[in-house]
Structure 1
């Protein structure tokens, strides 16, 4: 970000994305902790497993964009709560697949309506076209960030 009188942190898009993300995550975290005893990393892992089925921790790290330690802790917490279980990876004896248990699938099924309602409330001031545009633009930002090389 160039150091000019016109540049303000409040106008810096990465800052705005971070603040918006933290505000939404905090709101979601409160609801999930209060109603389900889950932290955000645990829900992110559950959401991926609920959508995609069994995954290795490496897959979960890639899909959630969380660091390995956070994914490991989330997986361990889900296992200890009886919401997920590990099975040996037949293709790679060094890794395991994590998948939701019946209790995990049941909880996932109870959380999804809450998540969708929270999304609805968050975007109720947006038109359908604005929501679609927002999703598309966020996808483009995510793609660009994946290809971004600050040195190049």
Structure 2
């Protein structure tokens, strides 16, 4: 007589083959990553040549321009970027004079990042172009669909935060 462990081993698919049909094009995480990558690359073309900044650097500028000064840890959470990405982007932006660091007088290990005048100029230049890209992208949707999409993305973001036990806002 076979044990329960033996029968479950027989039901497993061979290594390298899915246990059930897997349609990558219908897999939501893949679709979201693909969309995000395509949109980020289209906007990157707008600022890479003119300002010599990368996608992570633009994210820092966008966050600081939108939300104001904050710590690198706050930016990490807001941008869902890892510590190394934020650190490298902040170092390059600081070196190029687009952001400045202000050390916390009470805790010298902490510093607040903020845009300099040139960083604010970059932000002011790129935002209208990014909004134009967004308008082009969302012109495929009705106003109701746009509102529904935002609500659905918010629900999925909240659920993803619970999956990772990590709030990004």
| TM-score normalized with structure 1 length | 0.90
Q: Which residue of 2 aligns with 1:92?
A: 107
- 1:3 and 2:30 matched: no
Question: What is aligned with 1:62?
Answer: 77
Structure 1 unmatched ranges of 5 or more:
none
Q: Give the number of the structure whose alpha-carbon radius of gyration is greater.
A: 2
Partner in structure 2 of residue 137 of structure 1: 152
Q: How many residues align?
A: 147
Specify which of 111, 122, 125 is matched with residue 126 of structure 2. 111
- Mapped partners of 1:3, 1:10: distance in 2: 17
Match among 50, 72, 82 for residue 97 of structure 2? 82
Tell me the distance in 2 between the aligned counterparts of 1:59 and 1:47.
Answer: 13
Unaligned stretches of 5+ residues in structure 2: 1-17, 165-169
2:29 paired with 1:14: yes
Is 2:140 the partner of 1:101? Answer: no
Q: CA RMSD in A?
A: 1.4
Equivalent residues of 2:46, 2:126 under 8 A apart = no
Q: Deviations over 1:70-125 (max 9, x none)?
A: 00011011111111011111342211111001111111111111110110111111
What is the alpha-carbon distance in structure 1 between the residues aligned to residue 140 and residue 108 of structure 2? 50
The answer to whether the 8 A contact 2:72-2:87 is kept is yes
